[in-house]
Amino acid sequence: MGGTNGGSKNSPTGGQGGSTPGASGGQTGSIASGGTSGSGNGSGGTSGAQPECQPVDAQKMIGCQGPDRVLCQYGKVDLRPCLDAGTSCVHIEETGVVGCFQCDPRTFVNRCEGTKAIYCTLNGRIREQTCSECSAGCCNDGDGDNVRGCDGDCDDADPLVFKGQTSYFSNASPSSFSFDFNCDGAHEPEYTALYSRDNTCCNCWLQSSVPACGQSADIRYCNGADAIAVQSCR
């Protein structure tokens, strides 16, 4: 508390303005305790209205402290424990994700136990799958797309390639140099119609043959606009 020699009030605890400085300065705390720093007169000199964390106008998980998540709630720090059994806080800095995970997909080593494949999903859950060829690696998920070789992943080095892929791509897979993104054994082009004066042209190529995957050609879209486009495949 501040000194009491008389004068104006300098201490936030009501000490009457003396020349004796407060006994205790501000303290620096951890991310969760929200300690502030300062050495002002009066008890616990603080840094004024400075927030404990950012952002000050919203709520956001900003990291982990031990097994708990750290929530910045309008400039104030609050710890949020993980309630599900077997989970703890994981902060993936690359994406900013903070969550209660069973495993860290960046460090978990997928493994085989007998005929069971044990793996960590991208959302931090441990999963098991039984397959007959686990020792050969078919049940491992090498590219993290949650589809293993025994589920129909024909390229376990590219997460965009797996059985059931519905998107089309204008560039071949960099690992297999193939356009077979849905693992059906073929290259399926997105647009196959050709321009004809006898029919209504909608997403049709303005040439005599359908361009191969990854090749550019003139196309007329359904809205009537002409453009140069790259043939996408899957």
Q: How does pLDDT run across 174-187, given as a tens digit for each residue?
A: 888 899 999 888 99
Q: How far, rounded to the nearest angstrom, does the alpha carbon of residue 56 sit from its chain's CA centroid?
A: 23
Q: Give the Cα separation of 211 and 51 in Å (integer).
A: 59
pTM over 0.85: no
Return the DSSP state at 19.
S
64 close to 70: Cβ distance less than 8 angstroms: yes
- Label residue 76 by pLDDT band (50, 70, 90): very high
Q: Measuring CA to CA, which residue among 191, 162, 186, 185 is closest to residue 175?
A: 162
Choose the weakest-confidence range: 34-48, 52-66, 146-160, 187-201.
34-48
Query: Could you tell me the two tokens for 129?
Result: 């799958």
pLDDT in tens, 134-181: 655 666 677 777 777 767 778 878 889 988 899 999 999 988 889 999
Backbone angles phi, psi at 149, to 5 degrees: -60, -40
